[in-house]
Chain A
């Protein structure tokens, strides 16, 4: 099989559209990825430091309120204004994420952001944490797409939201200075250590045991921080070393952040990590049951380059079994919505112009009905991949209903369904889809049926 531009635009990009030319080669996907991040500039999302400043401002008001009860009313007003602004920012960040996928001429980048943010899932857990998820992606994921896996891993593991989410921020080594001072409040917590091995690197069922988890948890003790002040390494929480993880010894007596960096480096290039990530990339981009040769090819490239991500992507894009029809995956709801907007020629600015209420109604609600509530997967393993988990009676009914209502939600000048067929699917439309687009009673139905077709729902 040789490289097929239309397939690649759907499988590795955010879909076809009237104003976007499909990539003509793997290089056409990789070149813009190596260049400047135009979408981050066009539809900005704040970095974590900005959110920390916001959280700091709100918490300062809370403290002031406690200390100056006679100013309660004034401080309450100020706090409400801050919180309202954050809520608006939350909607704006979501709209910007949609708009990037719709507008981009560098679509593989957006898809990779989605892949990696899911691989390193964090949840806001309600409260102010919810506002920190998009900035986490902007700070810890997006700048590291093109580098070494080890660098992304380090950024993620040192991000306060990840540390909060997986209970690392309060983990105290059993023989740490903190524990020896008699602070019995918090013990050691193995949650991050376990997920780091099971989800982030080696994969479930790989060759590690409970003792590796325990030793890694001892090594990680000291990583901490919060949404207000960002990341910190607390030497007093650290367990005196050395610790042995997967047969290798790390650290000396005094806990050091460098020892944690060393174990992350080793984990990032472990053969089982290479295998796990190779399979995960193949499953995410190509097929729920990928060709073993593709997985081997990716794992070999990972091992040969020490997890250089651009080289791994190159391996993915160049492999014959990643290039041909049929499209085997079901688009996730976010991918379905953005690819439909893109096929309709909608300008991303239309999305970023939506106020918080309209973002809720036109973006969050349909996403939730289709089974993908915004930034709320069930757990640290992220969204499921299998088409069967998405194309359910509920999920499909919500997809169809959304497509049928779409033209009432946005004032879009609808194309002739026959033109839309070409914008959305190029030469990939099947006879059934062509028939439906021609036989529909109205323009609205014709466009909706193309969006509902398996040709368009799959990627």
Chain B
């Protein structure tokens, strides 16, 4: 079983040890052109937005979701909205104004409902006309391309999976938190000597050793658990790869990194959704908590965007799940977010209101919210966002999402 005390220690220690690390760059010397932080989390498998963030005030909602609602009653956050119980730990963030969501949103991808295409297009952010060229780079990389002054660690792809989102001409660092480079002193000495004549190898191995050491430093710190708990206000924190991704991301963001991205899986809940989405949403809650705690003061200038390739059917199916749909939800968390708000125009859930009489009708483009976030965090011009980053996007009519 999970030893909660050690997890708390591990999680919180990262934030505390960073200040003591010789590797840290003082903020005044930071490498990026801005100080705000953006984390993009891709939820692979199509999150059921209607179960995660529930429109309980809609008169048709209960009849569409009888089994799911009865099995896991939600937590109301307004007259209209309730959170899935697995997101209940985020309610304090909502109340503090550090959690928001956009509902009935999607990319322009329609009808074929393939995970593979949907994720590619979500990350490419362009190429939605059928048969149009697939973009070879991702929108987050294109954003980096239009901003001068980027350095090696300004953007970080966290984890082993190669993300189209951050692929492209702009340089992006990459490391999987589970990766270590542990060498005997002699082997390390010999490696440095081997690589002395090849700068590509020399700089890569130096950085790999530094990353391993910084990870080791944050694991080895022994701090008082109660003190940590008090500091963080956390109520739970899970183990696993997802928490490691978030811890590592927080650690990087405390240093020179300004933009980071990683993926969470487990959202494709065709059967017995009650168990599946509970696990996935618990992991998402963990990730947001770990980022909040790990970032400390920096949380105030951070926005976390959690987005998925498409939503799921409005009606639950015969096997206690939901099938691939269209409109869905996007979560936003962080001190920089205009929180406590439900963005987007609610289309309603009567059969006539649904897309194709089966899916939540998308009324907003999920890319427009991402663009608003980048505009607000980094001061990027909407015309640049609508041309270079998301070609053809129209941001007009999409609210500001950053304070």
Q: What residues of chain A have their CB less than 8 Å away from a CB belonging to chain B?
A: 123, 125-126, 167, 171, 187-191, 193-195, 198, 217, 330, 368-369, 371, 373, 378-381, 387-388, 391-398, 400-401, 404, 430, 432-433, 435-436, 439-441, 445, 448-449, 452-454, 457
Contacts and interface: CB of A to CB of B under 8 A. Distances in A.
Given A191-B130, A439-B186, 9 more contacts: A125-B116, A193-B131, A379-B136, A381-B136, A393-B173, A393-B205, A397-B212, A436-B190, A436-B191
A394 B187 contact: no
A167 B134 CA distance: 12
B193 A435 contact: yes
Interface string B185-220: 011001101111110110011011001100000000
12 contacts: A188-B131, A194-B131, A194-B133, A378-B164, A379-B120, A397-B205, A401-B179, A435-B193, A436-B190, A439-B190, A440-B190, A449-B187
A457 B190 contact: no
A324 B78 CA distance: 72
Contacts of B162: 371, 373, 378
B181 interface: yes
A193 B130 CA distance: 12
A439 B160 CA distance: 33
A195 B130 CA distance: 14
Nearest to B127: A191
B160 A432 contact: no
B201 A392 contact: no
A394 B134 contact: no
A387 B200 contact: yes
Interchain residue pairs A-B with the least CB separation, the first 10: A190-B131, A397-B208, A393-B207, A397-B181, A189-B131, A393-B208, A396-B204, A454-B198, A436-B190, A125-B116
B181 A433 contact: no
Interface in B118-164: 120, 130-134, 136, 160-162, 164
Contacts of A433: 194
B175 A394 contact: yes
A400 B200 CA distance: 14
A157 B94 CA distance: 53
Contacts of B175: 393-394
Nearest to A123: B116
A454 B195 contact: yes
Nearest to B201: A454
B204 A449 contact: no
B180 interface: yes
Contact of A400 (B120, B134, B164, B181): B181
B116 A126 contact: yes
Contacts of A187: 130
Contacts of B208: 393-394, 396-397, 400
Given A188-B131, A371-B162, A404-B187, A453 B212 contact: no
A445 B184 contact: yes
Contacts of A454: 194-195, 197-198, 201
B176 interface: yes
A401 B200 contact: no
Contacts, number: 130
Interface residues of B, number: 43
Contacts of B183: 400, 404
B115 interface: yes
- Interface of chain A, main secondary structure: helix
A394 B136 contact: no
B167 interface: yes
Contacts of A191: 130-134
A139 B176 CA distance: 36
Contacts of A381: 136
Given A369-B176, A388-B200, A397-B208, A436 B193 contact: yes
Contacts of A400: 181, 183, 191, 205, 208
B363 interface: no
A457 B174 CA distance: 20
Nearest to B161: A373
Interface in B203-241: 204-205, 207-208, 211-212
A8 to B, nearest CB: 22
Contacts of A401: 179-182
Contacts of B180: 397, 401
Contact of B131 (A123, A217, A330): A217
Contacts of A396: 201, 204-205, 208
A190 B130 CA distance: 7
A449 B136 contact: no
B114 interface: yes
A453 to B, nearest CB: 5
A237 B99 CA distance: 50
B112 to A, nearest CB: 9
Nearest to A193: B131
A377 to B, nearest CB: 8
A388 B171 CA distance: 10
B194 A394 contact: no
Contact of B191 (A189, A193, A388, A449): A449
Contacts of B174: 392-395
A432 B200 contact: no
B400 to A, nearest CB: 33
A394 B115 CA distance: 27
A171 B196 CA distance: 54
A441 B133 contact: no
Contacts of A440: 186-187, 190
A368 B207 CA distance: 20
Contacts of B207: 393
B186 A441 contact: yes
A454 B204 CA distance: 12
Nearest to A371: B162
| B132, B182, B200 interface centre (most CB from chain A within 10 Å) | B200
A436 B176 CA distance: 28
A194 B195 CA distance: 42
A388 B200 CA distance: 7
B133 A393 contact: no
Contacts of A449: 187, 190-191, 194
A394 B174 CA distance: 6
Contacts of B136: 379, 381
| A126, A189, A191 interface centre (most CB from chain B within 10 Å) | A191
Contacts of A188: 131
Contact of B197 (A190, A330, A432, A448): A432
